[in-house]
A and B are shown apart, each in its own frame.
Chain A
Amino acid sequence: MNAQDALVEYLLRLGDNALILGHRLSEWCGHSPALEEDLALSNVALDLIGQTQLWLNLAGEVEGRGRDADKLAYLRDARDFRNVLLVEQPNGDFAATMARQFYFDAWHYLLLHGLTGSTDPRIAEIAAKGLKEVTYHLERSQEWVLRLGDGTEESHRRMQSAVDDLWMYTGELFEGDEVDQVMVRDGIGPDPATLHEPWLGLVRATIEEATLTLPQPGWAQKGGKRGIHSEHLGYILADLQFLQRAYPNATW
């Protein structure tokens, strides 16, 4: 794989993770358990969609085929999306949403932190911008894992189920492939495997403080980075892309 193709692929992964999770969070808009949470989830979604634009515009620019963030978001099919499986998982209850967010935020923080030292200045500056936002996201999702885990009997039970059920989607975050090898070789991005230890340290400490039990290592679901997705992604795209598919080039 040549360096340019690998870089486009890598940028699509960064952008698609932010896009799909941002879309998932926006589904809570108007449905959250409290008005304050409705605002908060929508704001996190907004940060992620903002980051999506930066990553996907850069992906399109590097690709050089005239595609911008909108074309990439609205006009690719599921097999061309490169997000990890974790972010496309359904919202479930509030505990599932916050557990998914915590797993993702802790990893996202470490990844962006690594990318601030990228040899590609365009990547380093987007990462530095995003890191400030993601720091705040992580503080918030960590607080929710603690509050629900160490809360009532019911909130504890729901948060334990959530951290257990989503655990199998976390292995994919740390697995490198040939794209990652090119990024490490060129000093563009960190080796995903090196993020695992600090991630697990934070997750373990938080889960223990929340009086929850850390899930056991087990089978890891993977494939999203290569375009092999769970059935959920197609439904997300049906919602996300409907307008552009039904009314091509519609603007407002």
Chain B
Amino acid sequence: MIDSLTRPDPDQIRDWLGDVPDPEVPAVSVMDLGIVRDVQWQDSELVVAITPTYSGCPATSVIAFEIEAALRARGIDRLRIERRLSPPWTTDWITQEGRRRLEAYGIAPPAESAGGPSPFDRFLRKPLTIACPRCRSENTDRVSEFGSTPCKAQYRCRDCLEPFDYFKCI
């Protein structure tokens, strides 16, 4: 039983959550992706607020489950996972460490800041230059706007010929 004297503080809990991998991109943690929006004690109950990356992302319920399991393993027996939609998740919340880990794993991190021109100003949009995570060449092509998960697109490198995933910017 955790009381107010022995309960771990939220920073400690965030540290622990840094060891919980994203189920679809296990190279990064749920903290790296910016999915965990809030960690706080409400009396003797711990409330962790998480936000989905995409409305239909099937990983969201798995993430909630894994966070719960990780914290229970640390002895926190009273906790609640709260889903928070607003403000909507953006790739700008991926940490520098998260971007580095994505690239090392072979996924090109988001190339720009979210919030570009609207599709109603199509002619203002510029094609993105995405560097190959393997050989760093910028001579790459987009193969499809979507990849193996809703958060990624597919590219290929014209120099080292390697296909790779690009983490879309939203």
Listed in ascending order, the chain A residues whose CB lies under 8 Å from chain B are 36-37, 39-40, 42-44, 46-51, 53-54, 106, 109, 121, 124-126, 128-130, 132-133, 135-136, 138-140, 142, 198, 201-202
Cβ distance B138 to chain A, nearest Cβ, rounded Å: 21
The answer to whether A139 and B119 have CB atoms under 8 Å apart is: yes
The answer to whether B170 and A132 have CB atoms under 8 Å apart is: yes
Q: How far apart sit A124 and B54, CA to CA, in the bound complex (Å)?
A: 16
Is B135 part of the contact surface with A, judged by Cβ < 8 Å? Answer: no
Q: 11 A-B Cβ contacts within 8 A? A: A36-B144, A44-B146, A46-B57, A129-B52, A132-B88, A132-B90, A132-B170, A133-B170, A136-B170, A139-B125, A202-B119
Is B118 part of the contact surface with A, judged by Cβ < 8 Å? Answer: yes
Give chain B residues whose Cβ lies under 8 Å from the Cβ of A129.
Answer: 52, 55, 85-86, 88
Cβ distance B124 to chain A, nearest Cβ, rounded Å: 12
Give chain B residues whose Cβ lies under 8 Å from the Cβ of A51.
Answer: 55-56
Give chain B residues whose Cβ lies under 8 Å from the Cβ of A47.
Answer: 54-56, 150
With A36-B144, A202-B120 as known contacts, state yes or no: A46 contacts B86, CB within 8 Å.
no
Closest to B114 in A: A132
Closest to A44 in B: B146
0/1 interface trace, chain B 95-128, chain A, CB 8 Å (1 if under):
0000000000000000000100011101001000
The answer to whether B56 and A142 have CB atoms under 8 Å apart is: no
The answer to whether B86 and A136 have CB atoms under 8 Å apart is: no
Interface of B is mostly: loop
Give chain B residues whose Cβ lies under 8 Å from the Cβ of A50.
Answer: 52, 54-57
The answer to whether B150 and A46 have CB atoms under 8 Å apart is: yes
The answer to whether B119 and A138 have CB atoms under 8 Å apart is: yes
0/1 interface trace, chain B 60-87, chain A, CB 8 Å (1 if under):
0000000000000000000000000111
Is B140 part of the contact surface with A, judged by Cβ < 8 Å? Answer: no
Give chain B residues whose Cβ lies under 8 Å from the Cβ of A42.
Answer: 146
Give chain B residues whose Cβ lies under 8 Å from the Cβ of A198.
Answer: 120
Having A50-B56, A198-B120, one finds 20 other A-B pairs with CB under 8 Å, namely A36-B154, A43-B149, A43-B150, A44-B146, A46-B150, A47-B150, A48-B56, A50-B57, A124-B86, A125-B85, A125-B86, A128-B85, A129-B52, A129-B88, A130-B55, A132-B88, A132-B90, A139-B119, A142-B122, A201-B120
Give the interface size bracket for B toward A: 20 to 34
Q: Which of B156-170 contact A (CB under 8 A)?
A: 168, 170
The answer to whether B145 and A49 have CB atoms under 8 Å apart is: no
With A126-B85, A136-B170 as known contacts, state yes or no: A40 contacts B146, CB within 8 Å.
yes
Q: How far apart sit A151 and B147, CA to CA, in the bound complex (Å)?
A: 24
The answer to whether A39 and B144 have CB atoms under 8 Å apart is: yes
The answer to whether A142 and B119 have CB atoms under 8 Å apart is: yes
Give chain B residues whose Cβ lies under 8 Å from the Cβ of A37.
Answer: 144
Give chain B residues whose Cβ lies under 8 Å from the Cβ of A43.
Answer: 146, 149-150
Q: How far apart sit A216 and B86, CA to CA, in the bound complex (Å)?
A: 41
Give chain A residues whose Cβ lies under 8 Å from the Cβ of B6.
Answer: none
The answer to whether B150 and A109 have CB atoms under 8 Å apart is: no
Q: Which 3 pairs from chain A and chain B are nearest by CB?
A: A50-B56, A50-B55, A36-B144
Give chain A residues whose Cβ lies under 8 Å from the Cβ of B87.
Answer: 128
Q: How far apart sit A140 and B146, CA to CA, in the bound complex (Å)?
A: 10
Is B2 part of the contact surface with A, judged by Cβ < 8 Å? Answer: no
Q: How far apart sit A51 and B88, CA to CA, in the bound complex (Å)?
A: 13
Is B42 part of the contact surface with A, judged by Cβ < 8 Å? Answer: no
The answer to whether A133 and B119 have CB atoms under 8 Å apart is: no
Give chain A residues whose Cβ lies under 8 Å from the Cβ of B168.
Answer: 136
Give chain A residues whose Cβ lies under 8 Å from the Cβ of B52.
Answer: 50, 129
Q: How far apart sit A48 and B147, CA to CA, in the bound complex (Å)?
A: 17
Cβ distance A123 to chain B, nearest Cβ, rounded Å: 11
Q: How far apart sit A50 and B52, CA to CA, in the bound complex (Å)?
A: 10
